[in-house]
Chain A
Amino acid sequence: DVKVTQSSRYLVKRTGEKVFLECVQDMDHENMFWYRQDPGLGLRLIYFSYDVKMKEKGDIPEGYSVSREKKERFSLILESASTNQTSMYLCASSTSRGGDSYEQFFGPGTRLTVL
């Protein structure tokens, strides 16, 4: 079974802090994604990566950066956390072997509160 894990289920940080959210998958997937979920706005794509050291901006990349140094790990970085980044963050992964798209699998999510 595919397993996607996230470093924390709940996180509380102060405004201005640098925040790292970590995601690890164990299925050798090429593609990894970060989404955030907010009431009334749904799930929105922040960044994604389809290979080591590769990254692409999603729909709402402002205020975030990412790092993918190893295939199994994709990190989301909030350089200077702000209260409007309080949200549920969800990581996902998928494979594209053979050129086809395959289903995405999600981690359990991290509920981040910025005070």
Chain B
Amino acid sequence: GIQVEQSPPDLILQEGANSTLRCNFSDSVNNLQWFHQNPWGQLINLFYIPSGTKQNGRLSATTVATERYSLLYISSSQTTDSGVYFCAVERNTGRRALTFGSGTRLQVQP
């Protein structure tokens, strides 16, 4: 099956710092999503981004499908950004289900 690798696995930042999270995938994909999992376990949709660049406030994401990677940028981080960030991809097989990476655990300290 497809491999989805996220880096770094853990990240500790001071409030106000910027960060870049990376997602590499091993095969062509129909869909790529970034999620933030809050402390209660809910997966919050950040971006649906099979290709190109999108921005939403302090967050932005870029997917380069031909090179099989995606980046999530967090600028001016806040303590509320803490949690686990997941990248998930849908393979180009018509299966319609997501394969998740193992996540990046972000801790933003005041």
Contact = CB atoms under 8 A, between A and B. Distances in A.
A98 interface: no
B97 interface: yes
Contact of B97 (A58, A106, A111): A58
B72 to A, nearest CB: 15
Given A31-B96, A45-B97, A94-B96, A109 B102 contact: no
A102 to B, nearest CB: 7
Contacts of A96: 96
A108 B31 contact: no
Contacts of B100: 42-43
Interface in B20-51: 30-31, 33, 35, 40-43, 45, 48
Interface residues of A, number: 26
Interface in B43-100: 43, 45, 48, 86, 88, 90, 95-100
A48 B96 contact: yes
A50 interface: yes
Nearest to A37: B41
Contacts of A100: 30
A101 interface: yes
A64 to B, nearest CB: 15
Interface string A29-73: 001010001000011010010100000101100000000000000
A48 B97 contact: yes
Interface of B: 1, 30-31, 33, 35, 40-43, 45, 48, 86, 88, 90, 95-103
